[in-house]
A and B are shown apart, each in its own frame.
Chain A
């Protein structure tokens, strides 16, 4: 169906691709694996006409092709859903799905009824129940992602490229997306699937291609691979595995104590404690209120009511600055939008939170700051040529470590994290886990929300499952198996127990 061979691409003096290849067969789901920087995105961009290669050939349906721009690739049947969202927030779901000139028309102009009906049909294939008249901007990020996937599906693509489509989806949405992708196989569509979550790769794909440093280091049927081998191919070495000690805690020494926290319509009377040196996980579907709960604890929700204590002292959380003063730190889910100022330097980003309490017309003490930054770069193993470089130059994993360094620098008592490893590769994930475990050993109270159950199982001493704004289950690490969490997350109380 589609074969790319010998694809080469250089950016400046750097080889992003050195003769990479990819062969897609009709009706298969093809996994493309590799660490950040391995050339995955570049290869996909060459195939979808977003960048021009320096060499190599792309053959689609027996014809050698070279697309001048993404529109030509789309017309030839290659549709891409990328990590970055490309929806128009103020337009409706239906309009976003049929963005451009693809809306149904009649003699009266655009035929809205037919357009809406077709949008509905596409969304039904994804089991997505959103109202097609809702402005996309008012939807949660995961639903916006589904709208993008619906748009790609609506073009009747022969090749569908899904570049990390699941990074902001919860388990049940991932499942419904996978179901939709599997159904596409029947119609002969070749799907390329990129994900850093290897369990998803193993669940979904038929064949896999592994890239490292712009070259193919492994390819074949997924059944011929297992996870350790895949990871080994991707990173070229073995991953260190830490022995985790999930202690039980006395809750009298709770650092973070939350009673009856309510955010109208989103969080219902949540009560929880996080002890010193404890990691508590928040599981649940996207939209179950996990992010809203963390936001409320950081003072982002003005209508929030309830009682919050840090180390026994009641705190009123009205804005982030006050939450910080009370000893709370918050690592938000969206690095680029909430976590970092991409044009500012590594050092400036790292210091942004801890210096936000200083007098504004004071002169920063550069030597002391540089020492702080240098030691953080070392502790967090951040790879950057210079701390004065802007952070947009760094990989996702390094950016996330900068966000962590930024918040650890405020010397918090309680650390809140929302999706701490979204969109970063396996090695960087392991680094983040290592850092969180070190913080735990130092007596921090950590509350982490994640859509990835294995991540919570790996990290957390206890896991709280949320459903429609409430905590519906409190599980210890031993009790928290994937099926049970999934059961609670979709509202089965206790029935899902094995």
Chain B
């Protein structure tokens, strides 16, 4: 159970360092168990499948994770601030259609169109989701459910439900070329991660996100612009969904209205596996990176092993549930889930122990 302030101070009086260190490690490394699983999985696949640990396969593994990676990074910020964004998949598809339209209909050059697409993602994320949640104080679940449906509708309206080719050598090389023997999508992953980590850890905005997610009222009373922070995290989520949209378009060489329909579930699973709290205020992009790599390794390894892909769903779902259960037990003890060990219940006479 959670120690109350009084007990906490009693604890503090004694083993200050032991508890403090334990707590810090547990908080900072909430993704530790999943990291261990990732390593185990990697070793098992390496040992059992000789085609797994080849550089070509690892490259494929990482490249296939790129879209999930960037979308999950954006979702992490929203969840750290105590929100959630159901609309990431729709924003990804809308950005993909936007990119196709910018190039084909508006005749923009591809680099300009890519920048415009990222700005477009930030604007629909921040301007619609962010403003409705942060400025008007509406429920984030209802708002992003609404925009999940709304944006998907616009995807179909704008595209006429047709897939349209986007021909561009630049997009081709974004998807398929390498730089210093590392595929461009992996560079994009690294860059996204480093920027996200910097924003999270080394800016006042990063602290605001944790403060708003941890205790919105205290943040507001401390002079933090809560509404602005919330708008910003949804803008980040929208922009990173647009990065995902650009990568998707590059990979298939076309703007398709069907993309991104299932990415929300994988992204949410990755963020939660990575130890970010659904209630906000705890976690970070480091954990999300581990979560995404875990999902990608599992999917790739199973397919290399020739195991049916539904096993991936069963394993991911199980591990997610076990992970949150273990996390609860580790932090608050068995009694927090209603289990007590070594104790007799009842009010009858009991022999002294």
Residues of A within 8 A of B (CB): 11-16, 36-42, 50-52, 55, 57, 60, 63-69, 72, 75-76, 84, 213-214, 298, 300, 320-321, 324, 330, 332, 337-344, 348, 352-353, 355-364, 383-386, 388-390, 392-396, 398-399, 406
Contacts and interface: CB of A to CB of B under 8 A. Distances in A.
Given A66-B343, A383-B12, A393-B23, A42 B7 contact: yes
Nearest to A388: B24
Nearest to B350: A66
A212 to B, nearest CB: 11
A63 B8 contact: no
Given A67-B347, A344-B211, A392 B204 contact: no
B75 to A, nearest CB: 20
Given A344-B211, A393-B19, A338 B221 contact: yes
Contact of A12 (B19, B27, B204): B19
B107 interface: no
Contacts, number: 195
B6 A352 contact: no
For the residues of B in contact with A, the DSSP-based class is helix
A37 B353 contact: no
A393 B7 CA distance: 9
A364 B17 CA distance: 27
A361 B340 contact: no
22 contacts: A12-B18, A37-B12, A39-B6, A65-B350, A66-B347, A68-B345, A72-B345, A75-B347, A213-B13, A330-B221, A332-B221, A337-B217, A341-B214, A344-B211, A348-B211, A352-B211, A352-B219, A355-B207, A356-B223, A360-B208, A362-B204, A389-B23
Interface in B27-50: 27
How many residues of B sit at the interface, in one of the four size bands?
Answer: 35 or more
Contacts of A352: 207, 211, 218-219, 222, 224
Interface of B: 1, 3-20, 23-24, 27, 199, 202-205, 207-208, 210-211, 214-215, 217-225, 232, 281-282, 335, 340, 343-350, 352-353
A324 B223 contact: yes
Contacts of B203: 360-364
A37 to B, nearest CB: 4
B345 to A, nearest CB: 3
B12 A395 contact: yes
Contacts of A358: 204
Contacts of B208: 360
Contacts of A395: 5-6, 8-9, 12
Given A392-B5, A393-B20, A394-B5, 12 more contacts: A13-B15, A14-B13, A51-B335, A66-B343, A68-B344, A69-B340, A320-B223, A321-B225, A352-B218, A356-B204, A383-B12, A390-B23
B14 A363 contact: no
Contacts of B7: 11, 16, 37, 41-42
A229 B75 CA distance: 58
Contact of A361 (B8, B16, B204, B220): B204
Nearest to B8: A393
A170 B122 CA distance: 50
Contacts of A344: 207, 210-211, 214, 281
A11 B142 CA distance: 42
Given A340-B215, A385-B17, A393-B20, A11 B3 contact: yes
Nearest to B214: A341
Contacts of A75: 347
A37 B9 contact: yes
A343 B281 contact: yes
B218 A340 contact: yes
Given A343-B281, A385-B17, A356 B6 contact: no
Nearest to A398: B9
Contacts of A363: 202-203
Nearest to A295: B221
B97 to A, nearest CB: 30
A339 B220 CA distance: 10
Nearest to B5: A396
Contacts of B10: 11, 14, 16, 37-39, 42, 214
Given A13-B14, A360-B208, A339 B346 contact: no
Contacts of A50: 1
Contact of A360 (B1, B12, B204, B345): B204
A254 B186 CA distance: 63
A341 B207 CA distance: 11
A392 B120 CA distance: 41
B207 A389 contact: no
B204 A359 contact: yes
A343 B280 CA distance: 10
A58 B61 CA distance: 61
B211 A68 contact: no
Contacts of A13: 14-15, 18
